[in-house]
Copies of this chain bind each other. A is one copy, B any other.
Amino acid sequence: MAIPAQSAGHERIVIEGVAPEVDAGRFPIKRTVGEKVVVEADAFVDGHDQLGCVLHYRKAGATKWGEVSMRPLGNDRWRGEFSVREIGRYGYTITAWVDHFRTWRAELEKREQPTDVALALLIGAELIEAAAARTTIPHTAQLRLHARELRAERDPFARRLLALDPELARLMARFPDRTLETRYERELTVVVDEARAGYSTWYELFPRSCVHDPGAHGSLRSCEERLPYIASMGFDVLYLPPIHPIGMTARKGRNNALSADEDDPGSPWAIGSEAGGHKAVHPRLGTLEDLRHLVGRAREHGLEVALDIAFQCSPDHPYVEQSPRWFRWRPDGSVQYAENPPKKYQDIYPLNFETEDRQGLWEELRDVFLFWIEQGVHIFRVDNPHTKPFPFWEWLITDIKSKHPEVIFLAEAFTRPKVMHRLAKLGFTQSYTYFTWRNSKSELTDYFTELTQTPAREYFRPNLWPNTPDILHEYLQVGGRPAFMIRLVLAATLGANYGVYGPAFELYEATPRERGSEEYLSSEKFEIRAWDVERPDSLEHFIARVNQIRHQNEALQHDWSLCFHPVDNEALLCYSKHSDALDNVILVVVNIDPHHTRAGWVELPLEELQLLPDHPYQVHDLLSDTRYLWQGARNYVELDPHAAPAHIFRLRRHVRTERDFDYFI
């Protein structure tokens, strides 16, 4: 076998075990603007030589790399970090080299024989002179002076002292010999999203239900009247189910009936009629102009409008006539309606992604997003992405974000875990999760540990939904108002991104279509509901308070610091989150039993929270504005779900002033 040619890099060095890195660099990691990327890697060389190691990073398209030192963590592991300041893509990689001067210096310290020391000093002088040749005045002169000192005719041990001068080491570190450096084989990618991709609070509503009177049909204009109400609850994304024309053929009636009455509005997901398809607004909802107006008014209230993009068609959709090749025709000339087992959508045709007109179909669907982006929308909830091919989404999202990097795609894929992860890897900004079905203490602990403490967090950004128009979990059906409060606190504090489907949520609508079903009775999917949002028992103010707490506490605006703490009661869940600097620590205790008062002893890791075992500290319940003085690791909590099912404590550590006048920060 031929001896491999010595590569351009320094072949002796190995760089491996780089983290974060998704599937050997096949997929990017995700960050939001201003966040840090902390990179670790193993870098090592045969023998005993010492290494230098740097992290490179650059905005995509930039020719010049930024460079920061990586520091050794022990066991050949190195760590460095950089911040991503702009939306878009960044690249990062690693370089290491043998640091001959540092290696030489470490060996020199151990030499004991005068002849060995003298010889080592000559070698050191050569290294310093080589560095001098790599730089310019005044460093050249300075280094040459050092080299001369090492060669001087003096006692070698005296010269060794000069050689070990830390000033010289610092100077040499500035001019390493990197001609034989090793570059890591891959350039890895970070997709940087706008801040809302990492911290957002969603409110879903059917604009056609923005009515006061039963029997009326709401519109984008009547939806504007709700904006102050929604904004006052602290939401920042207003998400609308499909706003397009709805088909008449096979239209569903109330409660998913197979035939509709004349005045039944049909399902907004049965998209398309003679009035238009995915680029049109339902005539009764209004016009494109109305949408642009709503987007602008919402923004004045701090709300971004998100649209639902569902790639499927009513039999009346213009595509069916215009591009029959986009559908799969059966031997009898019909199209099999869509299914998402066990759900059946008799009013919907799926698109056929195995069409011969791949180019036409893909481009048209991409243009649907571009169309709405032109109207001012830049957040999209994507319906059932898991029933379309992965390469389609990867191409579409990459293409759109290359021109509109601010766009946020939320994947509504309630499917098998690996499919959900694939969609997140290939580009979806946020992902629906199984939170909706995780209700017990162990389920919540296991699932959120997985979501926030494994490498999947690099690409999978959870967005938690206690309810959706499709899902009314049994826990909410039987738990009453406390159950809604509990699920709200969990969603809002376990996830930096969460959303509710309202007004069903704040009015704790809880009646299923039938026993054992997760469908709502009188679901808004099939009829217009005139909600009384001013009902005095509404959760409006509770939601507003929780969202205000999120807004005021950085700890709740990120996911990765989540840590669960033991409580000796299976119905009590306790966890904390904190800011990077630990100056904001939130401790949540939730009674997940919506029926009974539960009490127990919470156990905190004092050291990690920078608490002293023998000093009291304050826990300030931001929900009730009550303060408790705790001490030590174990403290008592008791929660009555009918009064307040949760504490959201801000931890206030004990400090002293110069005058020993105690207070809490």
Residues on A lying within 8 angstroms of B by beta carbon are 1, 3-4, 6, 11-12, 14, 16-17, 23-24, 42, 44, 46-48, 75-76, 110, 119, 122-123, 126, 330-332, 334, 339, 341, 353, 358-359, 362-363, 386-391, 395, 398-399, 402, 416-419, 422
User: B399, A331: Cβ atoms under 8 Å?
Assistant: no
Complex CA distance for A334 and B119, rounded to whole angstroms: 10
User: B76, A3: Cβ atoms under 8 Å?
Assistant: no
Nearest-neighbor residue (CB-CB) of A106 within chain B: B341
Q: List 18 other contacts, CB 8 Å, given A1-B395, A44-B419, A48-B339.
A: A3-B363, A11-B390, A11-B391, A12-B353, A14-B422, A16-B23, A42-B418, A46-B388, A47-B387, A47-B388, A75-B416, A75-B417, A76-B418, A76-B419, A119-B330, A119-B334, A122-B330, A122-B332
Given A11-B389, A334-B119, A402 and B46 contact (CB-CB distance below 8 Å): no
User: B123, A331: Cβ atoms under 8 Å?
Assistant: yes
User: B416, A331: Cβ atoms under 8 Å?
Assistant: no
Nearest-neighbor residue (CB-CB) of A399 within chain B: B1
CB-CB < 8 A to A23: which residues of B? 16
Complex CA distance for A630 and B330, rounded to whole angstroms: 68
Complex CA distance for A391 and B390, rounded to whole angstroms: 38
Given A46-B386, A46-B388, A390-B46, A75 and B418 contact (CB-CB distance below 8 Å): yes
CB-CB < 8 A to A359: which residues of B? 3
Given A122-B331, A332-B122, A3 and B418 contact (CB-CB distance below 8 Å): no
CB-CB < 8 A to A416: which residues of B? 44, 75-76
Given A6-B358, A330-B123, A12 and B389 contact (CB-CB distance below 8 Å): yes
CB-CB < 8 A to A3: which residues of B? 358-359, 362-363, 395
CB-CB < 8 A to A334: which residues of B? 119
Decide if the interface of chain A is mainly helix, strand, loop or mixed.
mixed
CB-CB < 8 A to A75: which residues of B? 416-418
User: B330, A402: Cβ atoms under 8 Å?
Assistant: no
Pick from B6, B122, B390, B395: contact of A12, CB under 8 Å: B390
Nearest-neighbor residue (CB-CB) of A47 within chain B: B387
Complex CA distance for A575 and B170, rounded to whole angstroms: 53
- 10 A-B Cβ contacts within 8 A? A12-B353, A42-B418, A44-B416, A46-B389, A47-B387, A48-B339, A48-B387, A75-B416, A119-B331, A126-B331
Complex CA distance for A190 and B3, rounded to whole angstroms: 22
Nearest-neighbor residue (CB-CB) of A413 within chain B: B46
CB distance from A450 to the nearest CB of B (A): 13
Complex CA distance for A76 and B331, rounded to whole angstroms: 32
CB distance from A365 to the nearest CB of B (A): 11
CB distance from A180 to the nearest CB of B (A): 9
CB distance from A325 to the nearest CB of B (A): 15
CB-CB < 8 A to A6: which residues of B? 358
CB distance from A562 to the nearest CB of B (A): 24
The 4 closest A-B pairs by CB, nearest first: A1-B399, A24-B24, A122-B331, A47-B387
Nearest-neighbor residue (CB-CB) of A125 within chain B: B331
CB-CB < 8 A to A16: which residues of B? 23
Complex CA distance for A359 and B17, rounded to whole angstroms: 31
Complex CA distance for A130 and B110, rounded to whole angstroms: 79
CB-CB < 8 A to A390: which residues of B? 11-12, 14, 46
Complex CA distance for A339 and B48, rounded to whole angstroms: 9
Complex CA distance for A635 and B257, rounded to whole angstroms: 66
CB-CB < 8 A to A422: which residues of B? 14, 44
CB distance from A398 to the nearest CB of B (A): 6
CB distance from A96 to the nearest CB of B (A): 13
Pick from B1, B11, B48, B339: contact of A402, CB under 8 Å: B1
Nearest-neighbor residue (CB-CB) of A24 within chain B: B24
Complex CA distance for A14 and B416, rounded to whole angstroms: 13
CB distance from A355 to the nearest CB of B (A): 11
Complex CA distance for A549 and B17, rounded to whole angstroms: 40
